[in-house]
């Protein structure tokens, strides 16, 4: 079967779904092809801190109502180190901005619901997705579904298929540059139905490694501790996890920690990765397909959203204003913001974790940096400006 649409979106993660929604509201027709089922996509547990800019785009997409009702607005974060804990007043230091704690899984669910309410098409369990002729004005995407082969001709392909997708892999090697840093540790995460340790997130630097107390709601917590890359989840009973978490927190937080059975426990490696450029003819890379940041700055989803915002603006000008040059702007605009978030995420990661080769000197330098950060208005402003999100 063959047909034609304006835009084919590969991947129904937050990037693909949000782009689909914004395009729909601009009267641009798009089909989403997703390899997995909707339930599988919703089963993935990811970070949960939304910048104000992200919340604004979700609202513009008509998918912000539940986030507005259930999201927790945070005006600060806490940094724990050297047995002490300091609050960074994000709202004051950033000139009035806050972040909203709301799980990425819920963002995805809201976007899926908005898409089906709008009657837009998503093909789940689309196999063997392949893209052709994206160096021409009339690219094509082929796939199989329920045993049938399909072909869609389009004007534009949006590669929203994550780090392991086929979009980036379809670009000839000579046309793409990638840079990468793999960190020598991972995060062991636990989700549990226990109240948060504190009103706000606590990022802890401890000689035994990083720890983070986050949350999904007033009754559900998300905890992380830095671990070895070859660590096995099976070796971490809930009790062992909570003992180690408590060890890495300040006394007040350790005493406030309420423990309970883990609903999920997993290990994730940390990596920084950027592919450049983000456009190849009529193929556009968006979100994790183009870049990965370590989770320390909570930037992954927020960066995907700013990519989508830029691409939507370019596609709107291209289709609705008939501006043929509009497509050329995307990569430059998106990458300028991407690299700043990559820098911030690397910096937070470097400051908060135990690195195998850093020794006592590295630990003391980190503590000096944290002391500076929590004692200097100028340093605090820089952290706050980046954490709440640079403008886009
Ligand atoms: N064909 C079709 N779909 C595919 C293919 C393929 N060959 N490969 C991957 N996909 C789908 C995946 O199943 C997934 O649902 O693409 C989707 C990509 O979604 P994500 O990995 O969530 O990436 P993205 O939408 O860019 O989300 C941004 O922000 O917080 C970070 O990593 C976090 O996922 C999050 C990201
Ligand atoms: C999370 O809640 O999962 C989370 C929060 C902040 C981060 C990373 C993850 O920096």
Residue 147 pLDDT more than 90? Answer: yes
Name the one residue in this structure whose structure tokens are 């009529």. 282
Active site residue 294: no
> For the domain bounded by 2-79+99-179+271-348, which CATH number is listed?
3.50.50.60
Active site residue 295: yes
pLDDT (average), residues 159-185: 98
Nearest Cα to Cα of residue 32 among 111, 133, 110: 111
Neighbouring residues of 351: CB distance < 8 A, sequence distance ≥ 6: 205, 366, 369, 370, 373
Contact between 249 and 213 under an 8 Å Cβ cutoff? The reply is: yes
pLDDT (average), residues 383-387: 98
Name the one residue in this structure whose structure tokens are 């992380």. 224
What's the CA gap between 203 and 345, in Å, rounded? 13
Q: How far is the CA of 321 from the centre of ligand 1 (A)?
A: 30
Average pLDDT, the chain: 97
Ligand 1, pocket residues at CB < 6 Å = 10-16, 33-36, 41, 46-47, 104, 126, 129, 160-162, 165-166, 287-288, 300-301, 304
Task: Classify the phi-psi angles of 322: left when phi > 0, otherwise alpha if psi is within -120 to 50, otherwise beta.
Answer: left
- Specify the pLDDT at position 390: 98
Of the ligands numbered here, which is closest to the C-alpha atom of 273?
1
- Specify the pLDDT at position 359: 87
- Specify the pLDDT at position 358: 87
- Specify the pLDDT at position 349: 98
347 sits in which H/E element: helix 330-352
Read off the DSSP letter of residue 6. S
- Specify the pLDDT at position 363: 87
Q: Ligand 2, atom 3: nearest CA belongs to which residue?
A: 47
Active site residue 203: yes
Which atom of ligand 1 is the closest one to the Cα of 161?
16
Residue 47 pLDDT more than 90? Answer: no
pLDDT (average), residues 376-390: 98
- Specify the pLDDT at position 129: 98
Substitution site in 188, 214, 267, 270 for ligand 2 pocket (most atoms within 8 Å of beta carbon): 214
pLDDT digits (tens, 9 = 90+) for 67-83: 999 999 999 999 999 99
Active site residue 40: no
- Specify the pLDDT at position 211: 98
Contact between 63 and 114 under an 8 Å Cβ cutoff? The reply is: yes
Confidence of residue 180 (pLDDT cuts 50, 70, 90): very high
- Specify the pLDDT at position 44: 86
Q: 294, 295, 309, 310: which one is catalytic?
A: 295
- Specify the pLDDT at position 321: 96
Residue 1 pLDDT more than 90? Answer: no
Give, in degrees to the nearest 5, the angle at Cα 349 between 345 and 350. 115
Active site residue 340: no
pLDDT (average), residues 269-286: 98
Q: Looking at domain 184-269+356-388, what is its CATH homologous superfamily?
A: D-Amino Acid Oxidase, subunit A, domain 2 (3.30.9.10)
pLDDT (average), residues 91-111: 97
- Specify the pLDDT at position 12: 98
Q: 183, 224, 310, 387: which one is catalytic?
A: 387
Ligand 2, pocket residues at CB < 6 Å = 47-49, 201, 214, 222, 295-296, 298
Give the residue extent of every domain in the chain: 2-79+99-179+271-348, 184-269+356-388
pLDDT digits (tens, 9 = 90+) for 205-256: 999 999 999 999 999 999 999 999 999 999 999 999 999 999 999 999 999 9
Q: What is the residue-wise DSSP string for 152-212?
A: EE-SEEEE---TTSSTGGGS-GGG-EEEEEEEEEEEEEEEESS--SSSS-EEEE-TT--EE
Q: How far is the CA of 106 from the centre of ligand 2 (A)?
A: 14
Q: How far is the CA of 104 from the centre of ligand 1 (A)?
A: 12
């Amino acid at each position: 079967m063959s047909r034609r649409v304006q835009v084919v979106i590969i991947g129904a993660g937050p990037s693909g779904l949000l782009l689909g929604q914004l395009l729909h509201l601009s009267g641009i027709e798009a089909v989403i092809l997703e390899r997995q089922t909707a339930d599988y996509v919703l089963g993935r547990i990811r970070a949960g801190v939304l910048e104000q800019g992200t919340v604004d785009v979700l609202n513009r997409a008509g998918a912000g109502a539940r986030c507005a009702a259930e999201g927790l607005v945070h005006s600060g974060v806490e940094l724990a180190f050297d047995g002490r804990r300091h609050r960074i007043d994000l709202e004051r230091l950033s000139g009035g901005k806050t972040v909203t704690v709301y799980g990425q899984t819920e963002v995805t669910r809201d976007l899926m619901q908005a898409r089906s309410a709008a009657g837009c098409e998503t093909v789940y369990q689309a196999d063997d997705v392949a893209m052709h002729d994206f160096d021409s004005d009339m690219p094509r995407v082929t796939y199989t579904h329920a045993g049938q082969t399909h072909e869609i001709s389009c004007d534009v392909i949006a590669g929203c298929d994550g780090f392991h997708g086929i979009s980036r892999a379809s670009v000839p090697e000579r046309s793409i540059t990638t840079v990468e840093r793999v960190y020598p540790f991972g995060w062991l995460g636990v989700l549990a139905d226990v109240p948060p340790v504190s009103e706000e997130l606590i990022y802890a630097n401890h000689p035994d490694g990083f720890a983070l107390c986050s949350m999904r709601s007033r009754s559900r917590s998300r905890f992380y501790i830095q671990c070895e890359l070859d660590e096995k989840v099976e070796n971490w009973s809930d009790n062992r996890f909570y003992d180690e978490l408590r060890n890495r927190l300040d006394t007040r937080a350790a005493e406030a920690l309420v423990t309970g059975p883990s609903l999920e426990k997993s290990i994730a490696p940390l990596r920084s990765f950027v592919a450049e450029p983000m456009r190849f003819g009529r193929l556009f890379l968006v979100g994790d397909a183009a870049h990965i940041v370590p989770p320390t700055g909570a930037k992954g989803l927020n960066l995907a959203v700013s990519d989508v915002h830029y691409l939507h603006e370019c596609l709107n000008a291209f289709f609705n204003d008939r501006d043929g040059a509009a497509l050329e702007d995307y990569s430059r605009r998106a990458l300028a913001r991407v690299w700043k978030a990559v820098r911030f995420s690397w910096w937070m990661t470097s400051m908060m974790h135990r690195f195998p080769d850093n020794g006592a000197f590295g630990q003391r330098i980190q503590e000096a940096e944290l002391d500076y950060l929590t004692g200097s208005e100028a340093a605090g402003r820089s952290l706050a400006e980046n954490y709440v999100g640079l403008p886009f």
